[in-house]
Amino acid sequence: MVLKPLHFDVLIIGAGLSGIGAACHLSRECPTKRFAILDRREQIGGTWDLFRYPGIRSDSDMFSFGFDFRPWPGLKVLADGPSIQKYISDTAREYAISEHIHFNVELSRANRDSNKKLWIVDGIDLKTGEPRRYSCNFLISCTGYYDHHQGYLPAIPGAENFQGDYIHPQHWPRKLDYRDKTIVVIGSGATAVTLVPTLAKDARHVTMLQRSPSYIISVPAFDKISPVLLKLLPESWVFKFARWRNIKLQRWLFKISKRWPNFTRKLFLRGVRKSLPTDFDMRHFTPNYNPWVQRVCAVPNDDLFKAISSGSVSIETEKIETFTKNGIALKSGRQLNADIIITATGLNLKVLGDMELSLDGNPIAVNQKLTYKAVLMEGVPNMSWVFGYTNAPWTLKADIAARYICRLLNHMDKYEYDSCCATDTEGCAEDFSVMSELESGYVKRGNKALPRQGKKYPWRLLNNYEEDTKILLSHPIEDGILNFTSRVPRALRSNESERKPHIVEKET
């Protein structure tokens, strides 16, 4: 029996921050399009529904992390996970997106049928076990870039010998009791610096064990300017201003870091030194690389440094020799006793989740493809992915990428095109991936799975919010690189003279 597909103009894969944002933009800018969102989970939120470890929060300020069409309405700068999940759900409800979501659908394959000019997407209903099939004219992937099934767990000698609780934050036990326990958290990234001070409130003692330090800066827990402005101005003005201000500050800090890395390094380390006891060994917070070679971690109101100063948290910068029955033996010969060991060791990268991509039944090797303007997949018709920034709040790029997709769809309708495809005719692919500017462990491990970086624009990522905004939202859609096919013969088409190809020659 042939399963008849459920058809939509647009299918969005993923009901997290990017997917809900893309759907809201579609409903606002392409109101005639019939769309659906497919997600394997049971509710909205994506990352912010998946992770449940204590203290989970954003590592970007919420004013720039929120959607551009619905600014973050609170005063907390680094919001907790449940608040972010609620914000995403409230946004979906406000824009009537919830009714378009198909939950509990795990996708296995998406095939582009050139004859039918349709995507055929296959999956399974996780509750009933029944097959599900969908078709669409345009496919948008909003799945992020890491594996939701399994976090990264390095092979540590002797792990089977440890007799306490051994936990990865991605799979946090709901009923774990860590009160009055001795805990070791392995890691130095955003998850570790979030977990450690939170656990320290109830644990006997927490040790953050790191192989190498990360840059950590403290930011205010609550915005201090907006409450003053709220007494004088409408709420919508205040939160829009807060968003604009924080985007500018963040971009300024990143540019300063890249142009004057030594100055920024000294600035960051001076802030840490002021927040810790005078006799503290600063080697634990002094990375051997420049700022933004890896992501910079943010903590609210010095919470990590205050926990260290109180004695409830200690830092060890050493390599592990082996796990023991009661904890961890270090290369130096020292022993860290623990009731609980938490491996905040990062993520496994995975593109498009577990879904296979094919063109007329032939597998598409995503890791051999370029991305066009970091939005479309080279050589793959009517398919885009929404991939946020790694050097700035994710949503800044997700928003303008979704708006570009809407511009593209409207352009195709106007000129009666039924497909678009970006083609690299100059051999622009390089050996490294779209995330190679970061030297984080998870990027190095997953580099081979990601699309390739290009030698020049539009195949090369700019990672520049100001430039990307101009290009995606203002430059002409037709640039001589993005090719279109028409629903009607060329002789019958109208407005032919209105299209003026615009080729961007800028290289980065």
User: What pLDDT, on a 0 to 100 scale, did the predictor assign at position 281?
Assistant: 95
User: What pLDDT, on a 0 to 100 scale, did the predictor assign at position 2?
Assistant: 67
Task: Let me know if residue 264 belongs to a domain.
Answer: yes
User: What pLDDT, on a 0 to 100 scale, did the predictor assign at position 501?
Assistant: 45
Q: Which residue has the tokens 């992020």?
A: 144
Which letter, b or e, does each residue of 67-99 get, where b requires 16 or more Cβ atoms within 10 Å of its Cβ?
bbeebbeebbbbbbbeebbebbbebbeebebbe
Backbone angles phi, psi at 315, to 5 degrees: -120, 135
> pTM here?
0.91
Are residues 197 and 130 located together in one domain of the fold? no
* DSSP one-letter string for 174-225: TT---TT-EEEEE--SHHHHHHHHHHHTTSSEEEEEESS---EEEE-SB-SS
Ranges of beta strands (E only) in 265-391 are 297-300, 313-317, 320-323, 327-330, 335-337, 340-343, 356-359, 362-363, 371-372, 376-377, 383-385
The amino acid at 178: Y
End of a domain among 343, 365, 400? 343
User: What pLDDT, on a 0 to 100 scale, did the predictor assign at position 203?
Assistant: 97
Backbone angles phi, psi at 168, to 5 degrees: -105, 135
Task: Let me know if residue 42 belongs to a domain.
Answer: yes
Contact 354, 107 (CB under 8 A): yes
Are residues 50 and 186 located together in one domain of the fold? no
Cβ contacts of 406 within 8 Å, gap of 6 or more: 25, 26, 28, 29, 30
Are residues 40 and 53 located together in one domain of the fold? yes
* DSSP one-letter string for 219-271: E-SB-SSHHHHHTTS-HHHHHHHHHHHHHHHHHHHHHHHHHSHHHHHHHHHHH
End of a domain among 308, 343, 378? 343
User: What pLDDT, on a 0 to 100 scale, did the predictor assign at position 126?
Assistant: 95
CB atoms within 10 A of CB 175: 4
Are residues 69 and 139 located together in one domain of the fold? yes
Are residues 124 and 171 located together in one domain of the fold? no
Tokens (6 digits) for 242: 């807060």
Are residues 45 and 116 located together in one domain of the fold? yes
Are residues 209 and 316 located together in one domain of the fold? yes
Are residues 353 and 338 located together in one domain of the fold? no
**Measured between alpha carbons, how far is 400 from 408 in angstroms, rounded to an integer?**
12
Task: Let me know if residue 419 belongs to a domain.
Answer: yes
Are residues 194 and 317 located together in one domain of the fold? yes
Are residues 248 and 368 located together in one domain of the fold? no
Peptide bond into 458 cis (omega under 30): yes
**Measured between alpha carbons, how far is 110 from 119 in angstroms, rounded to an integer?**
7
**Beta-strand pair 182-186/340-343:** parallel
Backbone angles phi, psi at 131, to 5 degrees: -70, 150
Cβ contacts of 198 within 8 Å, gap of 6 or more: 54, 55
CB atoms within 10 A of CB 227: 11
Task: Let me know if residue 445 belongs to a domain.
Answer: no
The Cα-based distances of 212 to 64, 217, 326 in angstroms read 29, 16, 24
User: What pLDDT, on a 0 to 100 scale, did the predictor assign at position 273?
Assistant: 96
End of a domain among 316, 343, 370? 343
Are residues 214 and 316 located together in one domain of the fold? yes
User: What pLDDT, on a 0 to 100 scale, did the predictor assign at position 445?
Assistant: 67
Cβ contacts of 275 within 8 Å, gap of 6 or more: 218, 302, 305, 306, 309
Provide the residue-wise pLDDT of the chain in tens; the chain has 508 residues.
Answer: 568 889 999 999 999 999 999 999 999 999 999 999 999 999 999 989 989 999 999 988 999 999 999 999 889 999 999 999 999 999 999 999 999 999 999 999 999 999 999 999 999 999 999 999 999 999 999 998 777 778 878 889 999 999 999 999 999 998 899 999 999 999 999 999 999 999 999 999 999 999 999 999 999 999 999 999 999 999 999 999 999 999 999 999 999 999 999 999 999 999 999 999 999 999 999 999 999 888 899 999 999 999 999 999 999 999 999 999 999 999 999 999 999 999 998 887 788 887 999 999 999 999 899 999 999 999 999 999 898 888 889 999 999 999 999 999 999 999 999 999 999 999 998 888 877 776 666 666 667 778 888 999 999 988 899 999 999 999 999 998 999 998 765 544 445 444 544 433 333 3
Which H or E element spans position 290? none
Taking each continuous run of H as one helix and of E as one strand, the counts in the chain are 12, 25
Distance of CA 278 to the CA centre of its chain: 37
User: What pLDDT, on a 0 to 100 scale, did the predictor assign at position 370?
Assistant: 93
Task: Let me know if residue 487 belongs to a domain.
Answer: yes
CATH code, domain carrying 300 = 3.50.50.60
**Measured between alpha carbons, how far is 332 from 379 in angstroms, rounded to an integer?**
53
Are residues 314 and 289 located together in one domain of the fold? yes
User: What pLDDT, on a 0 to 100 scale, did the predictor assign at position 488?
Assistant: 62
| DSSP state, residue 412 | H
Tokens (6 digits) for 7: 């058809």
Number of structural domains the chain divides into: 2
Domain interval for residue 203 = 159-343
